[in-house]
Structure 1
């Protein structure tokens, strides 16, 4: 197991950003998720992506939340998708979302979605789409339906990242939560192998595994990160780095480190707990610059 620290980051830098770059060259992220109950979740994910340096962010959410989300985040384009009766993304949203994929370099699918989302049909439509995003990150409700689609996910030609917390990992791999607590690195590695993806198993310590057998351990962050919206920011930061052209392992590791160090900075300034998920993104640019 390898420590995810400044030495590893220095040996595995992010893609450079020179003065001649433009917003298209820095990557286009499409983020799909949210619900009528969590209409602001994608704002956190979108800001995480922009703060990580993505050039363009597009947000796709349930139609009733789209206008408010666009007003809350004027830097992003916003698309309304069909909702189901529970106010979550409906099955028809998959076809709508598939039509947007050729406009993006990375798709972040799932932040802010709950158990009532029509996640299976939505993920099926994305996996079968003629134009597929080169890189894909699955989060929240999409992880709950990923197990029965493992072959399709592993068969993607682009890079894939999964970001489960222990509860989601228990469902994803059909294992007892106690086993995850005992051997998180082993479970993360098994999931990475099964899904052909980089897997970030979140928790007090985060373990990042690749299908090739690399396992990184990040032990920092602190208890303050266990707060609503924190995972949405992490998904956005990783998505933004993927869109910039970072390899999935490098994007995920840097995203985890930036997210954790943002938590540490806020804990020192605000207090160990009580800072907000929406305060995390503003710390990311300075942390990237410091390296």
Structure 2
């Protein structure tokens, strides 16, 4: 079980005096669209609340000014948009310089175009540093299906955060088949891609090659709300950027996300709190 005992046995990094924002961890979040321009705000704020020191967010250019104002702690990068309001497939060239300086790159929150996500994935893999960790969500997960060979050199550095529908797109299985044996499905994908798989549901399964599976019982029914998954991706990224191994970061991200939901339910009621309220709980849950 992913519980307080596991958390105590796998502590998150603690930073001493003299730590600057760069050594606390640099996160680049790429995603969003004209339809859901706020998705990466949720991811980015979660990363900062999980302790990352520096944040950049890249999304369609039309959304960058509003995004930069609402998250003044972050730098923003404007990308060209396609006619449907998604990030254009050729936008990847604008990100080369930013990828090299990031400790963690999150790709996919708020994106619905698999082609654009795939082209962005190709670029960030090529331009990122030798130790960069990648957190893939939404359309970026589907884009993995045709890139098994491309992802091979990055085994152990990729965390994916699919719900059952996204896992169905990646595996070709139905959501019902995945629900019947989520651990086995997650294990198969983890072994195939060398990835840490966070398979989200009312109970979340975390699987990585060579590791025992973790099960988190969930933060309650209130977590089934729009944007909750975007927050989870940011929580994982924030802990990973601070130097935690990807599997530990995945465990901590799920725990922060779920415990944040439990705390929000206690204050606001079991249902009706918002995804953007979850990261506010993270600092109270992190080690001092």
The bucket for the TM-score relative to the shorter chain is: over 0.9
Aligned twin of 2:132: 134
Q: Calculate the TM-score normalised by the size of structure 1.
A: 0.95
Match of 1:102 in 2: 100
- Taking structure 2 as the reference length, what is the TM-score of the superposition? 0.96
Query: 1:40 maps to what in 2?
Result: 38
User: How far, CA to CA, are the matches of 1:171 and 1:287 in structure 2?
Assistant: 34
User: Once the two structures are superposed, what CA deviation does each residue of 1:144-195 show, in whole Å capped at 9, x if it has no partner?
Assistant: 1111112222322661100000000011111121121111111111111111
Name the counterpart of 1:219: 217
* Correspondent of 2:257 among 245, 256, 259: 259
Worse-superposed segment, 145-154 or 47-56: 145-154
The residue matched to 1:111 in structure 2 has which SS?
Answer: coil
Measured in 2, the distance between the counterparts of 1:160 and 1:76 equals: 24
Structure 2: state its 5+ residue gaps: none
Aligned-residue CA RMSD (Å)? 1.5
In 1, the alpha carbon distance for the partners of 2:271 and 2:215 equals 23
Instruction: Provide the residue aligned with 2:20 in structure 1.
Output: 22
Distance 1:13 1:38, change over 3 A: same
Give the equivalent residue in structure 1 for 2:163.
Answer: 165
In structure 2, the partner of 1:71 is 69
Aligned: 1:86 with 2:84: yes
Give the SS at the match of 1:146: helix
Return closer, same or farther for 1:93/1:131 CA change in 2, 3 Å cut-off.
farther
1:120 corresponds in structure 2 to 118
Range with bigger deviation, 162-171 or 210-219: 210-219
How many aligned positions are there? 288
Runs (4+) off by over 3 Å: 130-133
User: 1:82 touches 1:93 (CA, 8 Å); kept in 2?
Assistant: yes
Q: Distance in 2 between matches of 1:116 and 1:82?
A: 16
Secondary structure of 1:58 counterpart = strand
1:10 is matched with 8
Q: Secondary structure at the match of 1:92?
A: helix
Equivalent residue, structure 1, for 2:148: 150
**Quick check: 1:104–1:133 contact (8 Å CA) kept in 2?**
no
Distance 1:253 1:102, change over 3 A: same
Against the structure 1 CA distance between its residues 86 and 289, is the aligned structure 2 distance closer, same or farther, given a 3 Å change threshold? same
- Matched ranges for 1:243-282 at <5 A: 243-282=241-280
Maintained 8 Å contact 1:161/1:252: yes
Shift of 1:213: 4.0
Three-state SS of the structure 2 residue aligned to 1:145 is helix
Alpha-carbon distance in structure 2 between the residues aligned to 1:274 and 1:164: 23
